[in-house]
Amino acid sequence: MTTAVIPAPDSGTGGLSVWPASTARLAHGGLAVGGVDLAEAAERFGTPVYVLDEGEVRKRCRAYREAFPEGDVLYAAKAFLSRAMVRWVREEGLGLDVCSAGELELAVTAGFPPDRIVLHGNAKSPRDLGSALRLGVGRIVIDSPSEIARIAAAVGPEGRQKVLVRVVPGISAGGHSKIRTGTDGQQFGLSLADGSALHAVARVLAQPRLELTGLHCHIGSQIAEVKPYLTALRRMVGLMARIRDAHGRVLPELDLGGGHGVAYRPGEPALDVATLARRLRSTLTESCAAARMPLPRLAVEPGRAVVGPAGVAVYRVLSVKHTGDTVFVAVDGGMGDNPRPALYGARYAPRLIGRAPAAGPRAATVVGRHCEAGDVLAAGVDLPGDVRPGDLIALPVAGAYQLSMASGYNMVGRPPVVAVHEGVARLLVRRETPEDLRRRDIGA
């Protein structure tokens, strides 16, 4: 399907270090991912389109399994979920972390074992809990005191549900203030500092229908350093020791959540999974020895770090406008399919694909088609000076928190997802059509 691969300079558009490992330059100036020419994929499936490298997803799943051979690795479904993704994760031996009945039911109907699923959420609906108990999820993470009685009552007199208690360890970490979840003063979890977590543990232990198997924490997202995780681990082991001393209960599980950072642009830092695993094991061994406790089974919940670098978003240029000193390159997608720049100030490294540029790079701002001044996909980035309508622009590291957070703004349908692997492209999620949007509107 692809043309001959040749070495080529980057022509001022940046390196390929953040692209899937299968990415190759093509003789005509294009790029192939998973053996598939991205320009050909754009022609076949239309634009915008999300291209997902199956081999990259599987490789990253295996890297986590190798790094945590004696622990549990749960893929965080909120990053991106589809039936194919469920199958890949299951086949690579990972568990699953879901946040709603929708994610849970899709996973189970796609064949994922419910006992390998953990349900999260700071505000679980009756449907969320009902589906979890009906389908038999492995763990429910208790996020607030009110959930304790709710879950126990829903279990019924003959049942018993395994649960974790989510603890806020008082650690500030993450790439943006809106994704730092380890500090007091936000909606997730129960505080370690004010005693809420310990009090919740006592209440859970008093419920015969609930089996407390361990503690959970999630300190933030897009974290590129190991140190915050080590600090969280020590505080969590300290709480586990207090629970043992107060209640005579040694908890067998410790879930440290996810938030593992990836590089969105060349030169940015990313969390090294092997280093994280090695230092977590060492610190866990030291902390448990000091507390005279057996080692709990460790769990981590990567989402972005598994699927983010495996995805590429491909757009078609609709217009190029020179306004003062700024060159605006408008594409046929935007904040409707990727709200991350508007929400978090996320930055990307877009690249011209499909042809060789005839001009050197110049600064440009890639904007979307939606009616918002904030619909900016990438500001002040280098693109060839001859970029023009009809060209294709690709954004790497587009697999996580883009389509999963997409909206129906301006009634622009959400893009399709196409898997590529060993030279074959296949549709995973079809494009949302105007008919789909109209079908939901049943009023008159």
- Per-residue pLDDT of 145-194, as tens digits, reads 999 999 999 998 888 999 999 999 988 755 544 444 545 567 678 999 89
For residue 8, being part of any structural domain is answered with: no
Based on the fold, state whether residues 354 and 206 are members of the same structural domain. Answer: no
Say yes or no to pLDDT of 386 above 90: yes
Residue after which a domain boundary falls, among 308, 341, 372? 308
Q: What is the dihedral of CA 133, 137, 142, 146, to 10 degrees?
A: -10
Residue 411 neighbours by CB under 8 Å, 6+ apart: 434, 437
Say yes or no to pLDDT of 14 above 60: no
Quickly tell me which residue has 């599987």 as its tokens: 58
Quickly tell me which residue has 């074959």 as its tokens: 424
Please give the tally of structural domains in the chain. Answer: 2
Say yes or no to pLDDT of 29 above 80: yes
Q: Judge contact between 438 and 361, C-beta under 8 A.
A: no
What pLDDT band is residue 222 in, cutting at 50, 70 and 90? very high
What are 34-79's pLDDT values in tens digits? Answer: 999 999 999 999 999 999 999 999 999 999 999 999 999 999 999 9
Please give the residue range of the domain that contains residue 348. Answer: 24-53+310-439
Based on the fold, state whether residues 386 and 367 are members of the same structural domain. Answer: yes
Q: Judge contact between 104 and 131, C-beta under 8 A.
A: yes
Based on the fold, state whether residues 39 and 145 are members of the same structural domain. Answer: no
Average pLDDT of span 99-116: 98
What size, in residues, is the chain?
444
Based on the fold, state whether residues 291 and 323 are members of the same structural domain. Answer: no
Residue after which a domain boundary falls, among 282, 308, 334? 308
pLDDT of residue 174: 56
Say yes or no to pLDDT of 7 above 80: no
Residue after which a domain boundary falls, among 308, 334, 358? 308
Residue 259 neighbours by CB under 8 Å, 6+ apart: 173, 174, 179, 181, 218, 219, 220, 221, 222, 223
Based on the fold, state whether residues 319 and 191 are members of the same structural domain. Answer: no
Cβ density class 327-341: b for 16+ within 10 Å, e for less: bebbbbbbbbbbbbb
Which range has the worst mean pLDDT, 20-24, 134-138, 182-186?
Answer: 182-186
What pLDDT band is residue 313 in, cutting at 50, 70 and 90? very high
The chain-wide mean pLDDT, for the chain, equals 92
Alpha helices in 386-430 (DSSP H): none
388/443: higher pLDDT: 388
pLDDT of residue 189: 87
Active site residue 288: no
Based on the fold, state whether residues 300 and 351 are members of the same structural domain. Answer: no
Q: Is 420 helix (H, G, I), strand (E, B) or coil?
A: strand
Distance from CA of residue 34 to its chain's centroid? 21
For residue 6, being part of any structural domain is answered with: no
Which uninterrupted H or E stretch holds 246? helix 227-247
pLDDT of residue 15: 82
Based on the fold, state whether residues 321 and 269 are members of the same structural domain. Answer: no
Phi, psi (rounded to 5 degrees) for 219:
-95, -10
pLDDT of residue 9: 37
